Chains A and B, each alone.
Chain A
C-alpha cells in the first residue's frame, strides 16, 4: 500500500492536493497546550491523515459485509472501530447503530441504577450526620 501511495505522488504539487492544510492547521490548533506548529509537522500530519483514511477505508471494506454490493457502508466502518485494536480510538465517534427503542430502554435502566445509588448515598449521609 505504501508503494501505491508514493507512486501516486508523481510530481511535488500532487503530494497534498487532497487535503486542505489550512483546515488541518485549525484542527491541530484546537488541541490544548499546542502553541505552535512547524510547517513540516503540518505537512506530515496532512499526509498521515491521508494515509490513515486510505487505511481505514480499505480495511473496513475488506472486512465488512458491504463487499457483496460493492459499497462501503457506515456499518463497515463502525465494525472496524469496534473490533480492530488499531482503530479503537474511533469507537466513540463511530458507534454501531441500535434501535431507538433499545436505546431508550438502556437509558431507563441506567437512570434506575443511578437513582438506586443516590438513595444509598442519602442513607449513609443521614447516618454520618447523626453521629
Chain B
C-alpha cells in the first residue's frame, strides 16, 4: 500500500508539544476573530486566500543561489517553502506590530521590523537588513533628487521635455504606485 500523505491541515496533534503556536486545524476558522497575536498565524493565512503563496519567485534566485550546484528542489518542498515564507511574514508583522504599539504608533516602521527580527531570534538578519535599508534610502533619495531636478529642467526646457518623459515613465510608474499605496494607507487610517 503506498504511503498516503496526511499532512497540511491534518497535522497530528502530538506535533504541537502542548505549545499553542498555532490553532488546531479544526478550530482554525472559528478562532481567527477572537484570538490575537501569534495565534492568528493559521487563521490569517486562510484569509489572505490564495494570495498567501509567494510561489514562483521564491525558488529561483534566492534559494537556488544558496544551495550547492546541481541541487533540485522537489515540488512539495517548493510549496512548503512558500507557505513557510507567508507564515514568516505574518509572524514578523505581528511581532513588529507589538513594537509599534509599545511606541504608541499606528504605523509599522523599519525599526519595528528590525526589533521583530531580534525578538524572533533571527539576529543574523539584522546586519544585512540594515545594509539593505541604507541602500534603499540612498536610492530613494537619489530618485527624489533626480525628479526634482527634472522638474526644474522642465520649466526651463520645454522642447526636450517630451523626450525625457517617455524614458522616465517606467521609473516613475513604480514610484507613483508606491506613493499611491501610501496614500491609501493614510486614508484607511482616517476611516
Give min CB distance, B147 to chain A, whole Å.
Answer: 15
Those 8 A-B pairs whose CB atoms lie nearest each other, nearest first: A95-B11, A100-B4, A74-B76, A36-B185, A92-B22, A40-B110, A38-B109, A12-B139
Task: Classify the secondary structure of B's interface with A.
Answer: helix
Contact assessment for A43 and B132 in the assembled complex, using a CB-CB cutoff below 8 Å: yes
Residue B135 CB within 8 A of the other chain? yes
Contact assessment for B110 and A90 in the assembled complex, using a CB-CB cutoff below 8 Å: no
- A8-B65, A43-B136, A51-B125 known; A18-B117 Cβ under 8 A: no
Residues of B contacting A44 with CB < 8 Å? 110, 113-114, 129, 132-133
Task: Classify the secondary structure of A's interface with B.
Answer: helix
Residue B36 CB within 8 A of the other chain? yes
Contact assessment for B77 and A90 in the assembled complex, using a CB-CB cutoff below 8 Å: no
Alpha-carbon distance between A27 and B124 when the two chains are bound, in angstroms: 24
Question: Which B residue sits closest to A85, measured CB to CB?
Answer: B121
Residues of A contacting B48 with CB < 8 Å? 26-27, 30
Contact assessment for B108 and A74 in the assembled complex, using a CB-CB cutoff below 8 Å: no
Contact assessment for B128 and A35 in the assembled complex, using a CB-CB cutoff below 8 Å: no
**Pick from A12, A25, A40, A92: contact of B133, CB under 8 Å:** A40
Contact assessment for B133 and A39 in the assembled complex, using a CB-CB cutoff below 8 Å: no
Give min CB distance, B110 to chain A, whole Å.
Answer: 4
Instruction: Mark out the residues of chain A between 28 and 75 whose CB falls within 8 Å of any chain B CB in the assembled complex.
Output: 28, 30-41, 43-45, 47-58, 61, 66, 70-74
Residue B166 CB within 8 A of the other chain? no
- A20-B57, A53-B63 known; A92-B42 Cβ under 8 A: yes
Alpha-carbon distance between A41 and B117 when the two chains are bound, in angstroms: 12
Residue B61 CB within 8 A of the other chain? yes
Instruction: Mark out the residues of chain B between 175 and 191 whose CB falls within 8 Å of any chain A CB in the assembled complex.
Output: 178, 181-182, 185-186, 188-189
Residues of A contacting B101 with CB < 8 Å? 33
Residue B7 CB within 8 A of the other chain? yes
Contact assessment for B88 and A49 in the assembled complex, using a CB-CB cutoff below 8 Å: yes
Residues of B contacting A61 with CB < 8 Å? 67-68, 71
Residues of B contacting A81 with CB < 8 Å? 84
Contact mask for chain B residues 64-90; partner A; CB cutoff 8 A; 1 contact, 0 none? 011110111110110011011111111
